[in-house]
Chains A and B, each alone.
Chain A
Amino acid sequence: MPLADVLAAFRTLILDDPPTGGNADARGAEFRERFKDLTADERADLAAIPPERLGVYTHLIFSGERAVLQWVFPMSLAVVTPRLIESGAGATVREAQLALVRDLHRVRPWKSASHRDLARNFEAYLVHDRADLAGVWLGLANLLDFERTELEVLYHSDSLAETIAPPTLATMSVGELMAQPIVRPGYVALREYAYDLIALANHWRREQTLPRPLPAEMSICAVCGRNAELMPMWQAVSAPLLAGLAAIEPETPATINDLAQVFVTHAADTFSDETEAFGAFFTEFVSLLHVGAVLQPR
């Protein structure tokens, strides 16, 4: 279908491979070789377009992709941008990041309109295709996952379960409490990171800059759920609690007892007796309610 060829040629010119010819005649000759499926009129129309006008689209497309990435990965971009500038990718933050986005497109083109797909592409690109940037800070791979995870939690479909109010639990007997049905919503993300990214993110929100030097290694377990406003929120948790949450199938009814049992098993060496362990469990359990990491069936 010739229309498809015209659109594809236009895409190639604005996105991948701009014309090299200096005037319309030169471009016409160039396009005879490059776009053999087009008619002479179609080639002439394309050759008549000044390259700087094609460049407007190139600018708009990559600026749009950069805006999405700045929203999803503000900290990761802040980590790699100084190295990009040092390496000559661009003289300014904007130029350097646009160069990065163009290369991302070249290596892993965005094939849908989904922000999630673009975010996954970017993460994979930095981790697997840009060793020069991934090496800027060893925590970068963790940070990319952390920032993309917030997007996933924000966008994820809702759980059928509903919020548990902590005061409701306070009125229950121990037996009732342990038998209380709970659900881990499908949007909840469970993570182990080698760096304290929750502290890093708090610093970023407060200062809008990264701490220098970037944090040293310090393992954390973390849960990302949704707060009362249904926005993504991280909570640091102990390894036993993370193990307990991982043992519960998402969107599948369980009980507080199921969670507590796994916690106590994993924390056996940490506490002097079971009472102390259950006390620690309930202290942590309440923090899960604040980030919507545990709900109750409707």
Chain B
Amino acid sequence: MYANLPALGAGVGLRRQHLQEIIADRPTVGWFEVIPENFLQRGGFLADALERVATAYPCVGHGVSLSIGSTDPLDREHVRGVKQFCDKIGSRWFSDHLCFTMVDHVNLNDLIPLPFTEEAIENVAARVRIVQDILERPFLLENVTYYAAPSRSQMSEAEFITRVLERSDCGLLLDVSNVLLNARNQEYDPEAFLDSIPLERVGQLHLAGFEEFGDVLLDTHARPVADDTWVLYRKVLERIGRTSVLIEWDSEIPSLARLLQEAEMAQQLMDEVCGSASVGND
């Protein structure tokens, strides 16, 4: 496991809609992934609920607005806020996306892919080093879906990700669904992709549902994990062993019980492939 990170088993994203039920019922689940942007600089119910959840469960921070690939100045104040947030919830590592979300100081409110170029690698690596210095904990970058990349002329996605991770010396949050989606949308072999990236840098996995939109599969996080994704997840586990895996379901959010069913499936598959162990070990 990258940087000796603990294998927390299967977890789910902590969503506002489920907070009261989680606090009241204390369901069994390995861990929660928490988006700092949903809680930073907030008080009241949200702050109170987060504190209760973080006291009872392992929690890990996962950002959505670092905009690590942007050429706008890095928002160091935001990164310092994330550091305090991670300290508060006891996050052993922190992750965000290999993409940009801000350009020319306009928020795109989505994860926009970077051009697969040398210049983009250098830009990301320089910013990751600053982020890691501030966070003082392992930092993972997540592979994103791309329906159109600004540039593909210099290298492949796999080479781009590999070189970013090595140049930045950071870990990978491998979104298995994104691998499958990109493989389908860009017409490549997902297993060949897995075999061409540094899996020893994987510190966490994501699984999510997707939908068809025109001629592409869209990473909507609004559906159960698809059968093909479970198959690819198994293949990832066979390669990397026990890890921390998270079910992402952020739109048309189901009941907590339904969400936890998905996590249970992920845990069962992990136990089957990697040997049984208690949920939330370490």
Contact = CB atoms under 8 A, between A and B. Distances in A.
Contact of B112 (A42, A49, A57): A57
A249 to B, nearest CB: 19
A44 B115 CA distance: 13
Interface string B205-221: 00000000111101000
B208 to A, nearest CB: 14
B47 A56 contact: no
A156 B150 contact: no
A52 interface: yes
A7 B71 contact: yes
Contact of A59 (B47, B69, B117, B213): B213
Identify whether the interface residues of A are mostly helix, strand, loop, or mixed: helix
Interface of B: 20, 37, 41-48, 64-65, 69-71, 100-110, 112, 114-115, 117, 119-120, 123, 147-153, 213-216, 218, 251
Nearest to B119: A3
Given A3-B120, A57-B112, A11 B43 contact: no
A45 B214 contact: no
A230 B45 contact: yes
Interface stretch (A104-112, A167-175, A194-202, A203-211): A104-112
A56 B213 CA distance: 8
B107 A112 contact: yes
Nearest to B69: A7
Given A53-B147, A56-B218, A57-B147, A45 B115 contact: yes
Nearest to B66: A113
A4 B108 CA distance: 15
17 contacts: A4-B103, A7-B71, A14-B112, A42-B115, A52-B215, A53-B216, A57-B110, A112-B107, A113-B65, A154-B42, A154-B44, A155-B42, A156-B44, A157-B42, A157-B43, A158-B44, A226-B45
A262 interface: no
A42 B110 contact: no
Contact of B45 (A9, A41, A231): A231
Contacts of A56: 147-148, 213-214, 216, 218
A67 interface: yes
Nearest to A15: B108
Nearest to A153: B44
B44 A187 contact: yes
A61 B109 contact: yes
Nearest to B38: A115
Instruction: Pick the most buried of A1, A7, A9, A60: most chain B CB atoms within 10 A of its CB.
Output: A7
Contacts of A153: 44
Given A6-B150, A53-B216, A231-B45, 4 more contacts: A52-B215, A110-B109, A113-B65, A154-B44
B109 A65 contact: yes
Contacts of B119: 2-3
A11 B67 CA distance: 14
Nearest to A45: B151
A8 B41 contact: no
Given A49-B148, A52-B214, A57-B148, A231 B44 contact: yes
A8 B112 contact: no
A96 B44 CA distance: 34
B205 to A, nearest CB: 23
A229 B45 contact: yes
A14 B147 CA distance: 12
Contacts of A236: none
Interface in A2-30: 2-4, 6-11, 14-15
